Structure 1
Amino acid sequence: MRPGIVVRIIAFAILLAFLIVPDLFAPVFGLLTKNGQPAIYNQGSLLDLTFNHLAIVFAATSAATLIAVSLAILVTRSFGVEFLPLSRSLANIGQTFPPVAVLALAVPVLGFGTAPTLVALFLYGLLPIFENTLTGLVNLPQSVTEAAKGVGMTWAQRLFKIELPLALPVILAGIRLSTVISLATATIGSTVAARTLGEVIIAGLTSNNTAFVLQGGLIVGVLAVLIYDSLAALERWLMARTGQAKRAAA
């Protein structure tokens, strides 16, 4: 087993232990406290907050993937080419408006809680997935698509049996980037009462407790690294499975 994989397994095991039995780590984080401050976040369950955080990110990324991939498919068909500028503008909305601004605009309409955070993460995650899907579909080997046409495949058969499977590694790279961005950005959802790991960081900032801030940041950071690496490994496997790794090496 490669050293990098061993390190990641150890990191996951330590993270899991901290989320399930955080008091075991009190002596370590206690070094960062002062004046009798609690060493471990005590205003809720870290495990519950982590699951909530991941659920919000998963929901937002899933919705962004569905819309972004659908838009990319539309604009790469002959009947949808003229919608490319409009689709690109829509995908850019999330990058144009900072997530904090989106939250500020969404709260009066949707109220406090998870909903404004979902909207902000959804908009912020559209662009990487849309651009990568577009790249993956546009840059397919022409010989493959021509062969598919030659055997009489319909456009739908070509899309689902040839184009999307070949473009999937590139699409997954966009999803990977969007997911990692959302993991970090979701922390700001706690400013509008969404239950995310941002609660831990905010509690640390308001009470001047460095241990709380570090705990929230470390959980998000380790999750981001583990999820990024897992999706990257899946991407490499898909490229090898479709023979794209060999073409890239050549």
Structure 2
Amino acid sequence: MTPGAIVRLAILILLLAFLLAPQSFAPVFAPLTRFGAPPIYNQGSLLDITLSHLWITFLATLASTIVAVGLSILVTRPFGKEFLSLSRSLANVGQTFPPVAVLALAVPVLGFGTEPTLIALFLYGLLPIFENALTGLTNVPRDVDEAARGMGMTGWQRLVGVELPLALPVILSGIRVAAVISLATATIGSTVAARTLGEVIIAGLTTSNTAFVLQGGLIVGILAVLLSDALSALERLLARRAGLTRRAEA
């Protein structure tokens, strides 16, 4: 195990220890409080809030992935090329409208809660996944594609058996970017009553309790780093396998 992996494992264990027994860390955060304020967030379970935050991030990223990859497959087929500009414009919508603006527009329709946050994160994650999926699918080696055609594979068989496996590392790179952005951005969901780690930060800001703010920020930051590292490692693994596939089929 590399030193970097050991450090990440230690950070993960420390995070789990904090989430499972936060009061054990009270002496660490006590110097950041004033006037006898509680050093550990006490308006709910930090573990439950963190799991809710991760669940919202997962659902939004999954929805973005399904739509973005589906659009990229559509526009890379002969019958769907004319929809490329429209699909790219759709994917750009999430980057054009800030998540706060999406929340403001969604709340009157969907009400307060998780749904507006999911919509905002879903839109925000479309662009990186779509562009990466498009790049991966359009850069499949020509000789590999011709070999698949020569073997008599249908368009669907080439897509599932050749194109998507070779494009997967690039697609996963876009998913990683979208997931990390969603993980960090999900904190704003607490402004519309979604259960995210934003409520810990907001509680700290409204009560001038720096310990709460630091706890919420640290949990989100550590989760983002660990998630990014895990998906990066998976990308490298898939890239190596894709390289072996190309050499075998060449």
Q: Partners in 1 of 2:120 and 2:52 — Cα distance?
A: 16
Q: Partners in 2 of 1:91 and 1:48 — Cα distance?
A: 32
Runs of 4+ in 1 over 6 A off after TM superposition: 244-247
> Which runs of no fewer than 5 residues in structure 2 stay unpaired?
none
> Which runs of no fewer than 5 residues in structure 1 stay unpaired?
none
Q: Partners in 1 of 2:18 and 2:170 — Cα distance?
A: 34
Mapped pair 1:57 → 2:32: no
Q: Partners in 1 of 2:64 and 2:155 — Cα distance?
A: 24
Q: How does 1:153-168 map to 2 (within 5 A)?
A: 153-168=153-168
Partner in structure 2 of residue 143 of structure 1: 143
Partner in structure 2 of residue 29 of structure 1: 29
What SS class does the counterpart of residue 186 from structure 1 fall into? helix
Identity of aligned residues (%): 72
Deviations 1:10-45 (A, max 9, x none): 000000000000011100000111110100000000
Q: How does 1:1-250 map to 2 (within 5 A)?
A: 1-243=1-243
Aligned letter for 1:109?
V
| C-alpha distance 245-96 of structure 1, shift in aligned 2 (>3 A) | farther
1:244 Cα shift?
6.5
Deviations 1:59-81 (A, max 9, x none): 00000000000000000000000
What SS class does the counterpart of residue 208 from structure 1 fall into? coil
What SS class does the counterpart of residue 239 from structure 2 fall into? helix
Q: Partners in 2 of 1:222 and 1:69 — Cα distance?
A: 28
| C-alpha distance 129-34 of structure 1, shift in aligned 2 (>3 A) | same
Query: Given that residues 144 and 246 in structure 2 are in contact (C-alpha distance below 8 angstroms), is that contact kept between their aligned partners in structure 1?
Result: no
Deviations 1:154-213 (A, max 9, x none): 000000000000000000000000000000000000000000000000000000000000
1:139 Cα shift?
0.8
If the length of structure 2 is used for normalisation, what is the TM-score? Answer: 0.97
If the length of structure 1 is used for normalisation, what is the TM-score? Answer: 0.97
- Count of paired positions: 247
